[in-house]
Amino acid sequence: MDDIAYTSVKKIGDREFEKLSRYIEAEVGIKLPPVKRTLLESRLQKRLKQLQIHSFSDYCDYVFDTEKGSMEIIEMIDAITTNKTDFMREPAHFEYMVHTALPELLKTRSEIHLWSAACSSGQEPYNLAMFMEEFIEKNRPINYDIVATDISKSSLEKAKKAIYYYKDIEIVTDSFKKKYFLKSRNPNSSEVRIKPVIRDKVTFRPINLMKDDYGHRSKFDIVFCRNVLIYFNKDNQADVIRRIMSHMNSGGYLFLGHSESLAGMRKELNSVGASIYRKE
């Protein structure tokens, strides 16, 4: 199949857009209003090409009417999720955690359980571990663990490898670079790896925030759920928050992305800072 003939058939029709966008919103929460049509089309084109499927209509038949198609949702999610993340993203949250949340929590407990919900390729949970280590170094030893979850299979695979590029850590302080990142033995490599002292603190697993059962065995004191609810409609946002809250200890802290808020939602979470909430 030559590329010119291939690309000429990959336009998404009204029916297919409607079907796929409804399915994606119901399964994953990500809303895809008509303005997102070109985005969906372009993000799924890679899948059509990989599967050698020549129209969105055939793709829908494959997804919805074949046995193999039920597995396609995993690949489809990978193609449509926005996984943008960074080290030191919204750093005021880490500052708040170290200077306010941890001292407050440690008045009533000796262990801290953290959850990075929608962790993408791992920068956020590894950053949490680095700040926990800093806190411990300056204060006292504490037991802590970090669970990091995401729906995207490829993001979780990348996160587990813990390998990043130098340019990804330009924003990180020299002290953090030295303490928490390993250089490659190859002097020409542009890659760095998170050190085991940090890697060992984080457990990755898949969780779809839209599903009722998250399967957590313990409750959390600190939850970072940043820059994911923004893709959901109000009802789905409220459902996710309700489920997250059911996995939080009372007095626990919830950090959302800076453009996300709980305005108009449940009151058992009190606003204590910019996109920071505390469970009663």
Residues within the interface to ligand SAM (CB under 6 A): 28-30, 81-85, 89, 118-120, 124, 150-152, 155, 207-210, 226-228, 257
Using alpha carbons, list the distances in angstroms from residue 254 to 17, 57, 188: 35, 42, 41
The structure tokens listed for 82 are 């926005």
**By C-beta, is 53 or 115 nearer to ligand SAM?**
115
**By C-beta, is 124 or 133 nearer to ligand SAM?**
124
The three state secondary structure string of 110-144 is CEEEEEEECCCCCHHHHHHHHHHHHHHHHCCCCEE
The position carrying tokens 């020409």 is 188
C-alpha span between 79 and 122 (Å, rounded): 18
Sequence letter at residue 31: K
Smallest separation, CB 7 to ligand SAM (Å): 27
Smallest separation, CB 232 to ligand SAM (Å): 8
Smallest separation, CB 134 to ligand SAM (Å): 20
**By C-beta, is 74 or 106 nearer to ligand SAM?**
74
Q: How far apart are the first and last CA of the chain?
A: 61
Smallest separation, CB 76 to ligand SAM (Å): 12
Smallest separation, CB 158 to ligand SAM (Å): 10
Q: What is the per-residue burial (b if ≥16 Cβ within 10 Å, else e) of 185-210? A: eeeeeeebebbeebbebbebeebebb
Residue nearest to ligand SAM (CB): 85
The position carrying tokens 């029916």 is 15
Helix, coil or strand: residue 77: helix
**By C-beta, is 53 or 226 nearer to ligand SAM?**
226
- Phi, psi values for residue 61, rounded to 5°: -60, -40
Smallest separation, CB 217 to ligand SAM (Å): 19
**By C-beta, is 119 or 223 nearer to ligand SAM?**
119
Helix, coil or strand: residue 89: coil
**By C-beta, is 53 or 224 nearer to ligand SAM?**
224
Smallest separation, CB 149 to ligand SAM (Å): 7
**By C-beta, is 45 or 236 nearer to ligand SAM?**
236
Strands (E), the chain: 111-117, 143-150, 163-165, 181-183, 191-194, 202-206, 220-225, 248-256, 269-273, 276-279
